[in-house]
Amino acid sequence: MKKLIYLFLLISTATFAQKGRHKMEMVPGKMIKEYTPEYMGLKRDLPEGYTENMRAILAQAAAIRVEATTQTKASANIVLTFETVPPADVKAVFEKAAATWSTVFSSDVPINVYVKWASLATNVLGSAGATVNVRNFVGANRLNTFYPIALAEKMAHKNLNGTNADIIATFNSDFTAWYIGTDGVPNINQIDLYSVVLHEMGHGLGFIGQVSVTSGEAGYPYPGIFDQYMINAANVALMDTNSFKNPSAALYTQLTSGKINLSTPSVLRNNGSAGKLYTPSTYSDGSSIYHVDQVKYKVGDANALMTPQIARGEVTRNIGPIVSSAFNDFGWYSSNLIGEEYNDTEDQASDKVFSVQVYSDTLWDESSLKLYLAVNSNTFNPVSSFTKAGNTYSYSLPKSATARNIKYYWYAEEKSGKKFVTPAEAPVISGTRFGSYFEFNIAPDTTKPEVVYSNPLKYIFTSQTSVPLPTLLAADNIGIDTIYMEYSINSGATIRKGFTKVAGLTYSFTNSFDFASGLLKAGDVIKYRIIVKDKAKITNTVTLPATGNYEFVVLGLQAAAANYKQTFDTPPTTDFYLKGFSFTKPSGFSTIGLHSAHPYADGSEESYNGAGGTDKFTNSDAILLKPITVRADTAKIYFDEVVLVEPGESGASFLNTDGTVNRSFYDYVTVQASNDAGKNWNNLINGWDSNFSTTWLNAYNSGFDAAGNSTGVGTSAMVKKREIDILSSGKFKAGDQLVFRFRLHADVGAHGWGWAIDNLNIQGSVATPAPPLVLAAEPTSYSTELQVTPNPTSRWVNLRLALGSVDEKVVAGIVGSQGQWIQQESLQIKGGLLEKQFDISTLPAGTYYVQVITNRNVYNKRIIVVR
């Protein structure tokens, strides 16, 4: 149903497709950096006499304020909420910046800004942006165009995101050279905090768009309102898809041309020319596009506020004609018609009342107001006679016993002749673009509810008593009346349980199974179906699934063991529960192993935000049903593997700073454990993907189908060894009885061949490698220097060190180039000689260090791993 699809996609959550990949999270905002001479080869100097002149200007301005008898009244209410309240002088700067912006435009909806005074990267002063962007809301003046939430609320004249913040702004509390004040001038070694805060709020209020760059292509999900006014040197709009495909390398070339302008009617009128944007030949994420040009608008220029950098000693406390004028045309100074979009109705016995509220920041022509109606046709006829109450205008369409389809839109003009309509860009009679007109029916309803739901439940454990269902989305042209499920255990008595609506979400409904403790037994099968009914006089019903039932199994655990070793040559079907895995021997392998589907599928089952919709993921699981009691000494897992799953973005870490999984990591594999019989799970180590091994990455990138999915195939020649320390995560301890789960996580983007596992060893004995062959007897005296052989190496590295004491405990292992432990063992050395061999066959090529820590010294020796 058209309306449902539109509303599900209202929120901006994606950038653009790239080789089958949809990056599903937006970076909220752009950043401003301190000027450094090396940065982009630019130089930003203070003009001669700048500091003295600025002091005089500010002193004169202060004197004028003292003499003034009245104060400019703020026309917008900007509300600051601090994550942690900063020092009083810092807080005063934020408040002054908010007060400055509040006089630039009007809004009858408070603008909520969430401020973080926190650590950032060394040369980053601040970053900010809208918490969300919305499109096609009532009051918008551009169709299929994203607006930052604060601007959207101003134009819609209503709160669109509840109690959530409209802007998130973060400023670097670790920066030691802040000038904290609002009237003075920083010295030549200080950065003016007030200027930076003013700049960042500008991004959050609308000086930002939707275009992003990936792999030499630029693109966007839908343009932002800022983007709609970007033109090149030939005055061609960058959002003109006839000139620049979306996404494309051609659009990227424009963004690095140095010749992109922000051109709106008000900018041209008030600034005298279009505003030149910062588009250097080398694209700089976070700086390019959504700043004004660094070279043209030098220190002291009226438009310098929104340059990507700020010099020490620079004061930029004016909004400037480019920003203020552009904001006017974006919608901060606008006229809006707020007319309700009506649902279908079966009420043919009453007149239908159409109402609209008119808001304008300028003068508008009341006589121009029209309601255009098309009843059972595509011909729109104007209505110009209304009942008025304040700024609300109403018209009653007489009742009729005839079934009617009604299309409509509202139209008015400002005194200047400029028109404004709702929905945006109405009317478009042909085609299917949402927003061309509103439409509803007055007739008996035969339309079934539109329902989006997928069932990822395949298993639960006997330990679980509360099992939430995935979110269900439902909408109807009349309205939803009832949603419930019917379920049974082992085809027993049917139990009915209703869904509840998710607070704050129009179309989301949730439910859960609640089982009495001890009710479920291993092998139980739970079947269920979902029934959705609308409010029609003759109820329209949707049943999911259309026939039969969803079902899932209850898993029981076996007796705990001290270890588990498995070659999979004889499939251990009773030891494992498999979802998306199987015991098989695919082409390219000589023995049976534990394999994911080849290829595995894109995510399709659960939504990331828990609100349903199309941004989904799927987990394939192989669960060992035999718990293992954790040992204190050799708590290790070993296995052979091949991992050809979609690699994440270059340099992406697995976890965000808040501990959540980074969406830019895309697909991944990991090993998880539960110490409460399957109720809760934790990763033993961070997930990994094809980036872990050059061999795997090359295989993944060896070919792609038309949808951007990898056609590379895994073979036994690609096998690498994996070693996992069960205790390294800090989530578990010796004596815990752990259930282990091998998981492949797939999102909605591209996919690949998958994961293969063989020769699994959990806490079992490990064969000691044969000692290296020697040509002569070893000397009886040993070097006191750390000896590492062979070096370079590809599979093993042997270390040898004479210690100062006969009996000593040491720590030895492999350290990465950034100082992180990759392998680490505590060793009790007897006889004064440390000899140890490490398996480095799973490490990518590169530089590493062998490190030994004794009671007295730390020894390091560099090694080169080759592939």
Per-residue pLDDT tens over the stretch 753-797: 999 999 999 999 876 555 544 444 444 334 467 888 888 887 788
The predicted pLDDT at position 325 comes to 97
pLDDT of residue 61: 62
Longest dimension (CA), the chain: 110
Can you give the pLDDT at residue 171?
A: 93
Close Cβ partners of 659 (under 8 Å, ≥ 6 residues apart) = none
C-alpha Rg value of the chain to the nearest Å = 33
Q: Which two tokens stand for residue 481?
A: 């009346």
Residue 785 structure tokens: 């220097």
- DSSP states along 594-660: EEE-SSPPPP-SEETTSS-SS-EEEEEEEEEEEEEEPPSS--EEEEEEEEE----STT--SB-TTSS
Rama region for 268: left / alpha / beta (φ>0; ψ in -120 to 50; rest): alpha
Cis amide leading into 571 (omega within 30): no
For the purposes of burial, counting CB atoms within 10 Å of the CB of 666, is it exposed (0-12), middle (13-18) or buried (19 or more)? buried
**pLDDT above 90 (res 93):** yes
Question: In angstroms, rounded to a whole number, what is the distance separating the alpha carbons of residues 330 and 320?
Answer: 16
* C-beta atoms surrounding 867 within 10 Å: 11
Q: What is the pTM of this model?
A: 0.72
Beta bridge partners of 823: 814
Judge contact between 475 and 510, C-beta under 8 A. Answer: no
- Residue written as tokens 């990898």? 710
Higher pLDDT pick, 180 / 612:
180
- Residue bearing tokens 């060394």: 122
Main-chain phi, psi angles of 519, to 5 degrees: -70, -40
Higher-pLDDT residue of 743 and 831 is 743
pLDDT at 429 over 70: no
Confidence (pLDDT) at 435:
55
Answer yes or no: are the C-beta atoms of 410 and 370 closer than 8 Å.
yes
Percent of the chain scored above 70 by pLDDT?
89
The token pair that represents 681 in the structure block: 């799970």
Specify the 3-state DSSP secondary structure of 274: coil
| Mean pLDDT for all residues in the chain | 87
* Pair 485, 499: CB distance under 8 Å: yes
Q: Are 208 and 201 in contact (CB under 8 A)?
A: no
Name which of 41, 40, 117 is nearest 82 in CA terms. 117
- Residues 6 or more apart in contact with residue 682 via CB below 8 angstroms: 672, 673, 674, 729, 731, 732
**pLDDT average, residue stretch 509-531:** 96
Give, as one character, the DSSP assignment of residue 561. B
At 115-163, the pLDDT tens digits run: 999 887 776 787 889 999 999 999 999 999 999 999 999 999 999 998 9
Closest residue by Cα to residue 375 from 353, 407, 349? 407
pLDDT the model gives residue 768: 56
Is 861 within 8 Å of 847 (Cβ atoms)? no
Q: Is 67's pLDDT higher than 50?
A: no
> CB count, 10 Å around CB of 567?
14
Q: What is the pLDDT of residue 217?
A: 93
> With contact defined as beta carbons under 8 Å apart, do 402 and 434 qualify?
no
pLDDT digits 0-9 by tens, 236-254:
999 999 999 999 999 999 9
Is the pLDDT higher at 501 or at 19? 501
Q: How many CB atoms lie within 10 A of CB 326?
A: 26
Of 23-32, 131-140, 850-859, minimum mean pLDDT range: 23-32
DSSP string, 492-537: -S-EEEE-EEPTT-SSEEE-EEE--TT---TT-EEEEEEEEEE--S
Of 22-31, 46-55, 201-210, which one has max mean pLDDT?
201-210
Q: What whole-number distance in Å separates Cα of residue 35 and Cα of residue 312? A: 8
Lookup: tokens for 330: 């974006």
The pLDDT of residue 842 is: 82
Q: Is residue 454 a contact partner of residue 443, using CB atoms and an 8 Å limit?
A: no
Residue 649's pLDDT is what? 84
φ and ψ of 324, to 5 deg: -65, -40
Q: Measured between alpha carbons, how far is 229 from 329 in angstroms, rounded to an integer?
A: 9
Spatial distance between the Cα atoms of 305 and 320, rounded to a whole number of angstroms = 7
What is the Cα–Cα distance from 617 to 134, expressed in whole angstroms? 24
Preceding omega of 790 cis (within 30 degrees of 0): yes
For the cut 90, the answer to whether the pLDDT of residue 466 exceeds it is: yes
Integer angstrom CA distances of residue 838 from 90, 657, 693, 718, 773: 53, 31, 18, 20, 17
Quick check: 87 and 120 in contact, CB under 8 A? no
Q: Are 271 and 261 in contact (CB under 8 A)?
A: no
Query: Would you state the torsion angle of the CA atoms of residues 49, 54, 56, 61, taken in this order, to the nearest 10 degrees?
Result: 160
The pair of structure tokens assigned to 335 is 């006229």
3 state SS for 292-348: ECCCCCCCCCCCHHHCCEECCCCCCCCCCHHHHHHHHHHHHCCEEEEECCCCCECCC
Record the tokens describing residue 39, joined without a space.
Answer: 């940065």
Please give the structure tokens belonging to residue 417.
Answer: 């002749």
CA distance 699 to 137: 46
Cis ω for the linkage preceding 423 (within 30 of 0): yes
For the beta carbon of residue 709, count every other beta carbon within 10 angstroms: 21
The answer to whether 329 touches 305, Cβ cutoff 8 Å, is: no
Determine the 3-state secondary structure of 445 from DSSP.
Answer: coil
First vs last C-alpha separation in the chain: 54
* Number of other CB atoms surrounding residue 491 within 10 Å: 10
CA 590 to chain centre: 41
- Give the single-character DSSP code of 593: E
Residues 384, 366: Cα–Cα separation, whole Å: 10
Contact 151, 134 (CB under 8 A): no
* Count of helix runs (H) and strand runs (E) in the chain: 9, 57
Picking from 770, 675, 683, the residue whose alpha carbon sits closest to that of residue 729 is 683
Contacts of 545 (CB under 8 A, 6+ apart): 529
Give the whole-angstrom CA distance, residue 336 versus residue 339: 9
The pLDDT assigned to 858 comes to 73
DSSP letter assigned to residue 350: S
Which tokens belong to 303?
Answer: 């438009």
For the chain, give percent helix, strand, coil, nearest 5: 15, 35, 50
For residue 692, give the nearest of 725, 711, 719 by alpha carbon: 719
More confident call, 430 vs 28: 430
Q: Is the dihedral of CA 514, 517, 519, 522 positive or negative?
A: positive
Q: Using alpha carbons, select from 589, 625, 313 the residue that is nearest to residue 463.
A: 625
Mean pLDDT throughout 678-703? 95
Q: For residue 458, which phi and psi values (nearest 5 degrees)?
A: -120, -25
Answer yes or no: is pLDDT of 847 > 90: no
